[in-house]
Chain A
Amino acid sequence: QKEVEQNSGPLSVPEGAIASLNCTYSDRGSQSFFWYRQYSGKSPELIMFIYSNGDKEDGRFTAQLNKASQYVSLLIRDSQPSDSATYLCAVMNYGGSQGNLIFGKGTKLSVKP
């Protein structure tokens, strides 16, 4: 059973701080990793994807991947109250199909003004 684990939180950070969200996955063969943001009552929105070990930056967001440790993280710099949401880590599973996402339970982030 392929699994994705996240700390459910809530993670609370003050406005302007760095929020660090973490995720581990069980399938060592996984190649593609995604972070989705989901506001309460809304559908998930893709914010980052990463395939290679190391860091990938997009604006205030940085995704970090360490395949040896089976660990992926998301850093949010200069956190804003509008970043308050649940962040879902997902891994692409290509087992016999076109590919489907395996999601963690999500980490709820709260950014306090």
Chain B
Amino acid sequence: DAGVTQSPTHLIKTRGQHVTLRCSPISGHKSVSWYQQVLGQGPQFIFQYYEKEERGRGNFPDRFSARQFPNYSSELNVNALLLGDSALYLCASSSLRQAHGYTFGSGTRLTVV
């Protein structure tokens, strides 16, 4: 079985630009969550989607948005990029109420210059 897949793997953007990150969950998983991990910190929760509806949002500005598609894949969009948005963006999927924790994808390394 394929795990959680994310694309692209690496990305370099300029301040003020927009970026779209993509995630495909494990087959059969209906919940997708996004986390941001800045160097030296633990991952921070950004969004959660379940059955194509937003079910949770972390403390991030409105420049961050996401959506989930009918096939349960997801996109994370970040507008007006700042240098501080440079981080590893992690997608996680789960089938049930996360009783056994999340499975993370390999992440997208975003560098804003």
Contacts and interface: CB of A to CB of B under 8 A. Distances in A.
Interface string A90-106: 10110011111111111
A104 B42 CA distance: 6
Contacts, number: 66
B105 to A, nearest CB: 6
Nearest to B88: A43
B63 interface: no
- Taking chain A's interface residues, is the majority helix, strand, or loop, or is none over half, making it mixed? strand
B101 A34 contact: yes
A54 interface: no
A98 B97 contact: yes
Given A43-B107, A100-B58, A105 B40 contact: yes
Given A96-B56, A98-B50, A45 B104 contact: yes
B103 interface: yes
A42 interface: yes
B48 interface: yes
Contact of A88 (B42, B97, B105): B42
5 contacts: A90-B42, A93-B45, A100-B58, A101-B102, A103-B43
